[in-house]
Chain A
């Protein structure tokens, strides 16, 4: 029997749900993910580290599912077979007088099996850990990644000091070569996670941590910050682009160059505006007067696929929209809205668009 008050409650709650859903239909400024094809799944392993973990996942899943189903089966059997009683029925106190060898045997067996299963899982876990630590690091690509609220710096440090270069929010790696990433944090704790390539690692102020992985298949892998780091923890993405070694070398050569000097008048004007406005107070473009280190390095910004750490696709329209009102697209970001005339804005977009 359902009391009448039930219907009333149901209606009230449904109304509340409806109101909330309607309220949430209001305007929104965020764009859909710019790179929908990027892989970001812990079980879609694209390198040895992630696939070791995925195999261990399968072992755990099988063992845990078996135990869970066994307990559920026993419970259902008990519900099915045990006679019913009422609160008034006299309790059965026979267990106070005599031992219960049957249940005792069953419980003991179940405990022994549980201990053995847990021991097996610990061993499997430790061996996987060992396999992860044994990734061959010969001929590794070394990258220093620094996390900021809410973007990433990546500095490639192979070779001499003149060979190193800095980029942001997008890491290119060669397929088949190990990558050693030294991790630092500039402000608060962050965590780098590229689920299809490796488990996550924290970036902690005052400490340095290391992550090692290898990509075995070319592709675009999405990563993101996994440790809550303030307002825009949600939009702190990163792309790892794995490409064949030759293509990677070409990319490296390109990144080592200073920014392309603009040729057309509009872009030249854009450069001048960039250097003389507040842009240069935070950003750096090698080969220009802008050399600040508080925001992503824009030397080759046009070669990147996204803007604002994976928030927007890198198109002239989005770049223009981003520069005019960053807070609309990424509320809380440290980049202020820059008041620019329409011409200046177009000029800057043209200039930045040419920085391949």
Chain B
């Protein structure tokens, strides 16, 4: 019974197959490059499944949203630069701050971390692509369409105006008529779906696609941070999707989940939203910690101090982050004793962060410092994030929170934590990995200018807000009266915000100039130890022509012992084949045949968009939209004879 069920293609049966193993430059390596390349041409543009192609588009998209959110903030700061300003009115201002918060949280901070991960993880783990590459493509398209939908609505004066937190009843049918909040609620559905899909991609990639020898105990800390983040996404995001779906049902079909007059509850929204919303902060912050753990060892020229403690701290942070959502609700009528519990947890979560900070300081202390731009951004983290963490302790205390809650003090705190804990590390990571993305070095001089403008501008913009909050200035006000004593601090803050924007703009200029005419980057320009530095800059389409074998936590620094193999060979070079390893020990487990480029993810995303946008206008869109979505999904999963034959041939003749 060795007759194949389906006749394999001619070359599969007789001709010897090309196998990987030979070094770059060989015929096999060229075949690999070709096998893993994206299809060319206009139609090919809609079909890629290569993680680097998708991630590059994704990064550019999230950065475009970051810039848009920043411009909204610039208008807000101009409006608040002086009392009783008339640049924008309350209607526009409410849309501005809602769009700013929504953009930064949903369209920038969470996706940009996931997307840097989908670029870097296969390189760090020593594999050729992420798991479920078509789903990865689908996640990108759905995210793009959701973000565009929100901004198109905004440009047609239908931008959401109930805050990024959309508290009911203000966002409910009675007090927010029109479609503004509906667009917001569906944007949640789009982006959360994308985030959930990405989380599955990242978890599977980390668990199953690591290079042989990369046991969990040798997993790079950035990968650990993304693993933890992705599990948090899986548990946190469903809460907000549930909440926003109930909201849109209240608004569209007259359910009363949040209507106290009909037995609903206004606080239910807050519980659901913050059960997502607080882990959300940490799932923005934890990748930032991962960037730091990637950058610090390279620039301190030594392995990280306290690897195990770092991993356990990440996991502890993730668990604790689900137990402190009530500190957003201390001013409600929840029981006082219960609030005390949430005070304790909110303070407890400082401990794992403190452990990591101490371990990084120990790494820096005992290392030798290569003071380049990426390290500068990391050092800024110690100033900004630690200060933000301190104000976080104040907000964790019920009595102090009752004074500063919903004031500019909180605006200061959250920007110190999110910009210090995520954006500065992210910029450090961009400077660090830019040579890998583009094959060129970024300008060090421009990088330093950008850094100092950002650092000084940031502190000038946000430090005065602490004082404003203590002096009684509430958040989310489109203006304030003269004579309240808030004028000068607000003006200082505006000047700082524009300085910060200038610094960010310089980094953008730096990136564009360097991508065109920067100095060509070698494979390992910083002397880093993780696997992404073991391949060319920019990497080949297949990432690694030979899948490496790993013997330590920093594989580049710890080469194979004498006599041990440096790489595995034998995967097909003329067909997409990938090595799958075991979860704990990364022992070679089996080979899988890998999905090829396909337009179906794009078409499915278009169909999903029709369903989601349609359901803003009529509930029947759920019914006919399901049919529209089903068509491309059937196409997506329809098995073809050619693929089946190819898989059979690989099975039979390994």
Contacts and interface: CB of A to CB of B under 8 A. Distances in A.
Q: Report if A and B associate in a common complex.
A: yes
Interface of A: 1-3, 5-6, 9-10, 13, 16-17, 20-21, 23-24, 26-33, 36, 40-43, 50, 52-53, 56-57, 60, 64-65, 67-68, 71-72, 74-75, 78-79, 81-93, 95-96, 100, 103-104, 106-107, 110-111, 114-115, 118, 121-122, 124-126, 128-129, 132-133, 149, 187-189, 191, 193, 195, 198-202, 204-210, 222, 224-235, 331-332
A206 B261 CA distance: 7
Interface stretch (B45-53, B190-198, B478-486): B478-486
B406 A226 contact: yes
Given A41-B471, A85-B367, A233-B476, 6 more contacts: A24-B86, A75-B364, A125-B400, A193-B472, A204-B266, A230-B175
Chain B contact patch, size range: 35 or more
Contacts of B446: 3, 6
Given A42-B472, A111-B354, A205-B260, A68 B483 contact: no
B509 interface: yes
Q: Which 8 A-B pairs have the closest CB atoms?
A: A206-B260, A199-B402, A85-B368, A234-B477, A64-B390, A125-B397, A32-B482, A40-B472
A40 B486 CA distance: 11
Nearest to B306: A107
Most A Cβ at <10 Å: residue of B340, B364, B379, B472: B472
A67 B394 CA distance: 13
A234 B169 contact: no
A5 B513 contact: yes
A193 B480 CA distance: 16
A23 B88 CA distance: 10
B175 A188 contact: yes
Nearest to A77: B365
Given A13-B498, A107-B359, A332-B91, A56 B266 contact: no
Interface string B445-469: 1100100000000000000000001
B196 to A, nearest CB: 28
12 contacts: A24-B78, A24-B82, A26-B87, A32-B483, A64-B391, A72-B383, A89-B370, A107-B359, A200-B406, A202-B333, A209-B333, A230-B94
A17 B394 contact: no
Contact of B368 (A84, A205, A231): A84
A179 B87 CA distance: 41
B475 interface: yes
Interface in B477-513: 477-484, 498, 501-502, 505-506, 509, 513
A129 B336 CA distance: 8
B475 A228 contact: yes
Given A91-B557, A92-B367, A106 B399 contact: no
A332 B477 CA distance: 14
Given A121-B347, A206-B265, A95 B305 contact: yes
A13 B331 contact: no
Given A115-B351, A199-B399, A199-B403, A205 B361 contact: no
B399 A125 contact: yes
Contact of B445 (A1, A104, A199): A1
A281 B563 CA distance: 94
B365 A26 contact: no
Contact of A13 (B91, B480, B505): B505
A85 B370 contact: yes
Most A Cβ at <10 Å: residue of B339, B354, B382, B391: B354
Contact of B302 (A64, A91, A198): A91
Given A33-B482, A207-B267, A106 B405 contact: no
B399 A132 contact: yes
B405 A92 contact: no
B357 interface: yes
A96 B303 contact: yes
Contacts of B622: none
Given A3-B446, A107-B306, A125-B400, A100 B336 contact: no
B432 to A, nearest CB: 11
B651 interface: no
Contact of A96 (B309, B391, B552): B552
Interface stretch (B282-290, B522-530, B626-634): B522-530
Given A199-B399, A226-B405, A111 B361 contact: no
Contacts of A9: 502, 505-506, 509
Interface in B62-108: 74-75, 78-79, 81-87, 89-91, 94
B362 interface: yes
Contacts of B394: 57, 60, 64
A3 B449 CA distance: 10
Contacts of A149: 175
Contacts of B449: 2, 6
Nearest to A189: B167
A290 to B, nearest CB: 26
Contacts of A93: 302-303, 557-558
A195 B476 CA distance: 17
B372 to A, nearest CB: 8
Contacts of B344: 122
A82 B481 contact: no
Contact of B340 (A72, A88, A129): A129
Given A30-B84, A40-B471, A199-B399, A20 B355 contact: no
Nearest to A84: B369
B348 interface: yes
B404 interface: yes
B400 A57 contact: yes
Contacts of B362: 100, 103, 106-107
Given A24-B79, A195-B472, A234-B90, A111 B333 contact: no
Contacts of A68: 386-387, 390
A341 B175 CA distance: 33
A331 B387 contact: no
B170 interface: yes
Contacts of A111: 351, 354-355, 358
B31 interface: no
A6 B525 CA distance: 25
Contacts of B297: 91
Contacts of A20: 74-75, 78, 87
A33 B362 CA distance: 52
B400 A60 contact: yes
B470 interface: yes
B569 interface: no
Given A72-B382, A103-B362, A125-B399, A205 B477 contact: no
B204 interface: no
A144 B435 CA distance: 64
A75 B81 CA distance: 34
Contact of B364 (A24, A32, A82, A199): A82
Contacts of B81: 21, 24
B30 interface: no
A54 B527 CA distance: 51
A82 B451 CA distance: 22
B481 A31 contact: yes
Contact of A114 (B343, B350, B371, B399): B350
A191 B406 contact: yes
Most A Cβ at <10 Å: residue of B169, B331, B333, B348: B331
A83 B369 CA distance: 6
Given A33-B483, A91-B301, A228 B163 contact: yes
A85 B449 CA distance: 22
B443 interface: yes
Contact of B397 (A30, A60, A133): A60
A137 B148 CA distance: 56
A314 to B, nearest CB: 15
B85 A3 contact: no
B525 A32 contact: no
B649 interface: no
Contact of B301 (A13, A53, A89, A227): A89
Nearest to B305: A103
Interface in B375-416: 379, 382-383, 386-387, 390-391, 393-394, 396-407
